[in-house]
Amino acid sequence: MSNVPMHEAGDVRKAWGRVTAWLERNDPEVLAALGGPGSQAAIGEAELRLGLELPGEMRQWLLANDIDAGGQPDDRSCLVALGCEIALPGGHLLLGLTDIQRVYLSRMGLEEMQPSTDPDCPFWRREWVPIAAERDGLYGTFLDTVSGTVGRWAEAHGPEEGVYASLSDFFQETADRLEGVSSGDWRGPGRSAGLRQLDPRPEDEPVRLWARANGYLVNDRGRIPASIREAYEAYEAYEAR
């Protein structure tokens, strides 16, 4: 278990409140896409399906807004079917309970079918619960329900644990990013993930080609994960010297 101290549930209410307050002032459409309050019953059902207990911070967040409450993805949906685009660290889609369960069961299924060769560095741990992810689930952010810390996973690099000390810290950085942008300069998504444009952009093609040549897994369509774009930009800066 991590030595990082657990934060109280009240912290996440404050951090998440900063996010929703900014959206209320600057992008009410995204705020609406976050959905209404969650329910204790839905959280309890999710815990039974996942086979673990969600920490207090996560419960408080899901009770404030459950993005996909009542939503039912169809059979043709991507793994992340109902997520919401917001300025999260890492650039992934924020998940509600439905997508959390879909992504978690998919990651656990992959780990069980092809167990990691190194038990100290598994593909996925049972105590990790996704809170944000790309549509295909190959990249994302997870909450460690044992330590309370927040980490990331990427198909090409494996998981990175302890990136944030808590869910509260993760949402505090999200709020810092939002509040650091002038409302007049805001170019937020203004829509739920289901309405996002997935057509490839021509300017992204060099990034995709470089990523594949350097061992990264990247889709032909959709957003290029921030970690890959940052690696590409670092390479370009180095080559320009």
User: Which pLDDT tens digit goes with each residue over 93-107?
Assistant: 899 998 999 899 988
Is the model more confident about 183 or about 198? 183
- CATH number given to 198-239: 4.10.320
Mean pLDDT confidence for 27-48: 90
**Same fold flag, 9-193 and 198-239:** no
**Rounded Cα–Cα distance for residues 127 and 145 (Å):** 5
Q: What architecture does CATH give domain 9-193? A: 3-Layer(aba) Sandwich (3.40)
Is the pTM higher than 0.85?
A: no
pLDDT confidence band for 184 (50 / 70 / 90): very low
Return the pLDDT at 220.
58
Query: How high is the mean pLDDT of the chain?
Result: 79
Rg (CA), the chain: 18
For the chain, the domains span 9-193, 198-239
**For residues 25, 143, 109 and 88, what is the CA-based torsion angle, rounded to 10 degrees?**
30
Q: Which of 193 and 224 is assigned the larger pLDDT?
A: 224
